[in-house]
Each structure stands twice: as C-alpha cells, then as structure tokens.
C-alpha cells in the first residue's frame, strides 16, 4: 500500500464539510481493495465507518480521522497541489486519512484481539460532523459505538517523530461569532438623518475587548477575536449595514456561556445607544477536547519507549476540534503528531513532511495491540 501516493491523490481533491463526495468515493475504493470478511463498511452521509472484527473481542476501540478540506487557495506550488480551485487540505486531513488507511490495512492483515471501529468523519472544519455522527451511532448503530476513542492531529511546529499530548483539557471550547448591524444609510453630509453602522460597529468592536479583560476570571483564560469587520458601500454614503466576524475560545463550557451572555448584553446596549438592530449568529460551536487521564499517561509511556518516537507533554491550546464531542461521551485521547512544516495549520503553504506515513500506522497498530 503506497500511503504517499494515497496522500497525494487525496491532497488533489479537497472538499468542504458534507461535500466530501470524491473523497468518500476514493476512500471506499481503497478500503474495498483490501476487504475481507473481517471488515464491514457503512456509509454515514459523506463519511464512512469501518469495523474490523478482532480475534477475541472484549471491547471496541475507535480511531477517528477527519476528511474535509478548507476554502483556501493553495500556494505550495507542488506537482500534486489541489485541483479544486480555492480549496486546500491545509489542515492535514489528507495526512490523517492516509494514516487511518494504513492502520486499517494493518488491522485487516493481522487483526488484534479487540474489534476496531475506524471513523472517517466529515465536516470537522465546519459545520461539525462529530456531534451528528455520534448521535447517529447512539440512536441507529450502537453496535458500531466504540468503548474508547482515539485520534491525532498533525503539528507543523513539531518535527516528524515527535508526539505530544497531556491528560485532561487539550483543546478549548470554541464558537464562531457573526454579528450583523442594521441601521439607516444616507448622504455623507446628512448624518442626522441616518443611523451610521460604521460608527456603531466600531463602538461594539471596542466594547467586545472588555469581555476577556473585565468579565473572565484572570486565573481562567479566554479569547475573543474579531478577524473581519465590514461596513458600508462607498466613501461618501453613510453605512446602513456592518458585520463583525470572529471567534470565541474558552477553557470551560461555563465560561463560554458567560462570554456569550456578555456579547449579547453589549449588542443590546448598541441597539439602544445607536438606534439599530443587531443580530448574533454563533455558527459552529465545538466542545473542549478532554483527554482521559489514564489513557494519556499510558500513551505517553508507550510513545516514550517506541524506538523512532519522542514523546512530549504538551500544553493545552486555544485551538478547537470537534473530536471534543467524542471525549465528552467516551474515554478518549487525542495527540499532536509532528510533521515539521515552516508554515502552520490553515496556511496556504502548509507542506507536511510525508515521512510520518512511514512509521505512524505501525506505531498506532502496536499501540492498539498493547492497550
């Protein structure tokens, strides 16, 4: 099985969440080529769930890979760059899928004792596939629900061969944030006849800065970033509409609730003070990734003994991952896996080091065997 070729094939066809039609087709083909009566494949929307029967199963282990790409125009100049204009596997999900296929092939060749469920999950980047997939498993296919759940994410800032994780909180609670302000436009020279949304949006943007500094416990932590702000149409017309687009990150679900409540009151005060309408949309929200303490400790122990691998204890990060819905429901573990790239996740020049594919499936196979 040529995992590098598979990764490059997948890299060429990045698709957005719940549109992973070509990707699903490709994955199905690779899996059916290695099929035996030991593996059963089920489709869920644009994703796939494969179960490999163990030799003497006492429980079901689960591995999850995400499969979607991002709306980013690739700028790597690679011969196998994205063929989908404006889309790119800039978060390494092509590498994740290839590792999962490598692991699946090993499990089919030489089954371990336990059953293993491999989940190829759509829409990690948005709108979020883990939560509805988990609901489907619970309601329709409890036979495919694992007892423990595992996943990795590539880490461009770590060299190949390094894995990093920690017990407890690994990734934050996250939520998108879209705020639309609607006022009354008009001639630039007659401001008194209008409700200027450029001014209202500017005031709101500044007020939002007080939430983290004044409403979040300094011993806790949170992020509220507005990455995009738009208002108006041309230079001499007062803006009728404005929009703020941002993201919220917190270390607990409670502080997420608190931050959202404060955003809502500030928006109400802007409505009152600037005589306008303000609408909030939180878009996709992800639950924090909580690593099971025992699994994290035993994984770090296993990894530190593994010949080609360096294991490090990482810090929690304000990144988000919908794998958090799995760790909210099942004991689970997620870890970072180094792919040494000078450009980070979601960057148009991200080039993960493919040599991770040489050892990672074996590393995971032996880990599952030892669990």
Residue 358, C-beta contacts closer than 8 angstroms, at least 6 positions apart: none
Q: What is the DSSP letter of 167?
A: S
Beta carbon nearer to Zn ion, 129 or 361:
129
Among 15, 74, 114, 125, the one annotated catalytic: 125
Report in angstroms the alpha-carbon separations of 103 from 55, 100, 225, 261, 290. 17, 5, 38, 44, 24
CB of 120 to Zn ion, least distance (A): 14
The 3-state DSSP class for residue 212 equals helix
Pairing of strands 162-165, 39-44: unpaired
CB of 96 to Zn ion, least distance (A): 7
Beta carbon nearer to Zn ion, 91 or 284:
91
Among 15, 20, 66, 74, the one annotated catalytic: 66
CB of 72 to Zn ion, least distance (A): 10
Instruction: By CB under 5 A, tell whether 123 contacts Zn ion.
Output: no
CB of 154 to Zn ion, least distance (A): 8
- Binding piece for Zn ion, criterion CB under 5 A, among 44-52, 88-96, 136-144, 175-183: 88-96
Count Cβ atoms within 10 A of the Cβ of residue 223 and give its class: 0-12 exposed, 13-18 middle, 19 or more buried.
middle
Q: Is 115 a catalytic residue?
A: no
CB of 279 to Zn ion, least distance (A): 27
Beta carbon nearer to Zn ion, 7 or 258:
7
Report in angstroms the alpha-carbon separations of 336 from 59, 64, 96, 300, 371. 25, 14, 11, 12, 19
Instruction: By CB under 5 A, tell whether 270 contacts Zn ion.
Output: no
Q: Is 66 a catalytic residue?
A: yes
In the block, residue with structure tokens 């593996």: 39
Residue pair 122/18 in contact (Cβ under 8 Å)? The answer is yes
- Binding piece for Zn ion, criterion CB under 5 A, among 85-93, 110-118, 265-273, 292-300: 85-93
- Binding piece for Zn ion, criterion CB under 5 A, among 91-99, 112-120, 259-267, 288-296: 91-99
Beta carbon nearer to Zn ion, 91 or 259:
91
Instruction: By CB under 5 A, tell whether 91 contacts Zn ion.
Output: yes
Beta carbon nearer to Zn ion, 57 or 126:
126
DSSP letter string, 222-291:
EEEEEEEEEE-SSTTEE-SEEEEEEEEEESSHHHHHHHHHHHHHHHHHHHHHHT-EEEEE---EEPPEEE
What residues line the site for Zn ion (CB under 5 A)? 91
Which residues does the annotation mark as catalytic? 66, 125
């Amino acid at each position: 099985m040529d995992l590098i070729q598979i990764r490059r094939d997948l890299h060429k066809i990045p698709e957005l969440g719940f549109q992973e039609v070509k990707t699903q087709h490709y994955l199905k083909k690779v899996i059916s080529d290695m099929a035996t009566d030991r593996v059963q494949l089920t489709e869920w929307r644009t994703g796939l769930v494969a179960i490999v029967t163990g030799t003497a199963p006492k429980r079901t282990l689960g591995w999850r890979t995400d499969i979607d790409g991002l709306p980013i125009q690739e700028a790597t100049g690679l011969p196998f760059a994205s063929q989908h204009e404006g889309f790119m596997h800039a978060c390494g999900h092509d590498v994740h899928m290839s590792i999962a296929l490598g692991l699946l092939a090993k499990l089919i060749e030489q089954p371990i004792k336990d059953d293993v469920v491999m989940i190829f999950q759509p829409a990690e980047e948005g709108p979020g596939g883990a939560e509805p997939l988990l609901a489907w498993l619970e309601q329709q296919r409890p036979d495919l629900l694992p007892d423990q759940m595992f996943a990795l994410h590539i880490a461009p800032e770590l060299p190949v061969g390094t894995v990093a994780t920690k017990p407890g909180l690994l990734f934050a609670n996250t939520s998108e944030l879209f705020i639309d302000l609607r006022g009354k436009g008009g001639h630039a020279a007659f401001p008194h006849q209008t409700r200027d949304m450029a001014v209202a949006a500017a005031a709101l943007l500044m007020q939002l800065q007080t939430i983290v500094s004044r409403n979040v416990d300094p011993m806790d932590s949170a992020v509220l970033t507005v990455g995009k702000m738009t208002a108006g149409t041309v230079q001499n017309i007062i803006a009728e509409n404005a929009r703020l687009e941002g993201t919220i990150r917190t270390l607990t679900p409670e502080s997420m609730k608190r931050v959202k409540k404060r955003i809502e009151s500030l928006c109400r005060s802007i409505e009152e003070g600037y005589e306008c309408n303000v609408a909030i949309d939180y878009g996709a929200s992800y639950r924090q990734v909580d690593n099971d303490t025992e699994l994290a400790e035993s994984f770090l122990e296993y990894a530190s003994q593994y010949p080609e691998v360096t294991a490090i204890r990482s810090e929690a990060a304000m990144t988000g991952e919908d794998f958090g819905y799995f760790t909210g429901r099942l004991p689970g573990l997620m870890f970072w896996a180094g792919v040494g790239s000078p450009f980070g996740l979601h960057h148009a020049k991200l080039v993960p080091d493919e040599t991770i594919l040489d050892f990672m499936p074996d590393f995971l196979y032996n880990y599952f065997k030892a669990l």
